[in-house]
Amino acid sequence: MPRLQSHAGNGVQNSSTLTPTIVPLHINPYSYTGHSSVVWQVAWSPDGKRIVSAGGLGDDSAQVWDAVTGKKQMTYASYTVMNAIAWSPDGKYIAAGGNSNDVDVIQVVGKQRIATYKGHQDVILSLAWSPDGKYIASASYDKTVQIWDAMTGAHVLTYQGHSDTVSSIAWSPDGKKLASGSFDGTIQIWNATSGKTILTYKGHTDKIYAVAWSPDGKRIVSGSVDETAQVWDTSTGQMVFTYRGHHASVSSVAWSPDGKHIASASYDKTVQVWDATTGGNVFTYSGHHDYVYSITWSPDGQYIASASADHTVQVWLVR
């Protein structure tokens, strides 16, 4: 992910401004076009009713919109590029971070910022809320992952096991561990309480862009600049298989809610859905015309939303 420059502007905008155009396509219900620049990340709300997306250079906003109609509900306009977003498990808050080095926690209904975390020394690239909703983990260009209290912004722990930018972070389903992927080419699993490294995975040959736990916590899928997605055992670090369907960097990976499939997004402009056990390709979505940076499954597993450098988020049926 390229580093971007900060822009000015601040505050929450009324949802009536910059109304998106809904573009019907035969394969997807609509494309969300509320952003005016690259869309770095997208996340589905836990209740399945809303989607939040993060806009890049010149857009500098996190936008919440109806997952069925695409109608915008709220815009949180920052003074900087938004690279990372995450929903709280109860769906009441979003965390948003980017080129300011800070992370804001925002109440979705009240549109109020309730906390700001300022512990990082460089750009924020990834955010993850703990399953119990108490903590947020943030990953940064400063080579650290930091855990902090979601409601107060109080620092809890700093993980310094990586030697380069940390690009992706994910909590284990039981909330006891985290997996962090880095430009140093490794994914590290570590204890969420002590920060002790448990396992280091070195199966990739280039920078790591994405990590995701399986719903049962037994496996991780990781995506890399080496153009592969790899599935491996979280207890032993043993590779299960390598998916080679992409022809460019794999920028995002996501496990289906039932654990049967994995979706991967790539700079080759596609999203591919494949069998989580065999790696067999199930479906390739080619609706974007530029890099795809982020993907998210709907909680019912029927749809995927994909965010792209083409300034759109597209919502489409998995088939």
Q: What is the pLDDT of residue 78?
A: 84
CA distance 124 to 102: 7
Among candidate residues 94, 84, 88, 91, the one with its CA nearest the CA of residue 122? 84
Distance of CA 214 to the CA centre of its chain: 15
DSSP code, position 235: T
**Burial classification of residue 215, based on how many CB atoms lie within 10 Å of its CB (0-12 exposed, 13-18 middle, 19 or more buried):** middle
Look up tokens 């597209």; give the residue: 314
CATH code of 11-114+207-317, in short, is 2.130.10.10
Gap between the Cα atoms of 46 and 298, Å rounded: 8
Q: What is the largest CA-CA distance in the chain?
A: 51
- pLDDT given at position 19: 39
pTM value > 0.85: yes
pLDDT on residue 18: 37
pLDDT at 28: 63
Q: What is the pLDDT of residues 296-315, one digit of tens each?
A: 999 999 999 999 999 999 99
Write out the DSSP string of 88-115.
-TTSSEEEEEETTS-EEEEETTTTEEEE
Distance in angstroms (rounded) separating the CA atoms of residues 282 and 291: 21
CB 189 within 8 A of CB 145: no
Please give the helix or strand (H or E) that residue 166 lies within, else none: strand 166-171
- Residue 4, C-beta contacts closer than 8 angstroms, at least 6 positions apart: 56, 57, 81, 83, 98, 99, 123
135 DSSP assignment: E
Instruction: Note down pLDDT in tens along the chain; length 319 residues.
Output: 443 322 223 333 333 333 334 333 345 678 999 999 999 999 999 999 999 999 999 999 999 999 999 999 999 998 789 999 999 999 999 999 999 999 999 999 988 999 999 999 999 999 999 999 999 999 999 999 999 999 999 999 999 999 999 999 999 999 999 999 999 999 999 999 999 999 999 999 999 999 999 999 999 999 999 999 999 999 999 999 999 999 999 999 999 999 999 999 999 999 999 999 999 988 999 999 999 999 999 999 999 999 999 999 999 998 7
Query: Cα–Cα distance between 269 and 286 in angstroms, integer?
Result: 7
Nearest to 297 by CA among 257, 269, 264: 257
Average per-residue pLDDT in the chain? Answer: 91
Residue pointed to by tokens 């389903």? 173
Residue 275's nearest CA partner among 201, 214, 187 is 214
Inter-CA distances, 249 with 110, 206, 212, 226, 230, Å = 38, 10, 16, 6, 13
Helices (H), 127-262: none
Q: Are 304 and 313 in contact (CB under 8 A)?
A: no
- Give the pLDDT confidence of 39-91 residue by residue, as tens digits: 999 999 999 999 999 999 999 999 999 999 999 999 999 878 999 999 999 99
In angstroms, the CA 207 to CA 149 distance is: 29
DSSP state of 289: S
**Tokens 């109608």 appear where?**
71
- pLDDT at 79 (0 to 100): 77
